[in-house]
Amino acid sequence: MRFEAPTTVSAAVKLLAGNLCNASPAADSVPALVAAGASAVIAGLRGKRTVPVETVATGPGKTSLKKGEMVEAILLPKRPPRSGDAYLRFIPRSEMDIAVVGVGVSMTLDAKGICTAARVALGAVAERVILVPDAAKALIGTTVDADALERLAAAASAACRPIDDKRGTKEFRIKVAGVLARRAAETALKRARGM
């Protein structure tokens, strides 16, 4: 099966909203959306409301949507200058295309290269995609050097609450979360620097 990118904004929103509302802890686009600070516009019989993307899924296959509600739009905040984002995942390619661990990182640098804002989200390591404030704190106020990346990796691993399944053990997922968080942060840093 070949993946084809959506050809319209409407198709892209349907793809993202469907992935979000499926409420899989391993959903690929959700950690990236959470890290980017995205919001979901929820429409229903009683009107519309806008909520952070991380509040839509409440558990595997469960959402905070009320009866008759649907995701109408996904809103991404305007990116400040010197910002970068990255999403990485580890999959058992020989078996299935479902993330064992997914990590989204978003960061903004000031003119001197100091990280002034960051968000880190993990997928497939808890009952739903989780935002990890301690991982972000490891980056903020630093030049995203080796020490900051080590603290980020440790915080990402510490936040994990995975299960054992055929795709990976708890221990493996915890280790991979830290490794991927570091790699995603390095990629986001390069993008923030314009590289």
Average pLDDT over residues 19-28: 84
Token couple for 136: 């972000």
Q: Which residues contact 33 (CB under 8 A, 6 or more apart)?
A: 16, 20, 53, 74, 76, 104
The string of pLDDT tens digits covering residues 42-89 is: 999 989 999 999 999 999 999 999 999 999 999 999 999 999 999 999
The string of pLDDT tens digits covering residues 166-193 is: 777 899 999 999 999 999 999 999 999 9
pLDDT band with cut points at 50, 70 and 90 for residue 12:
low
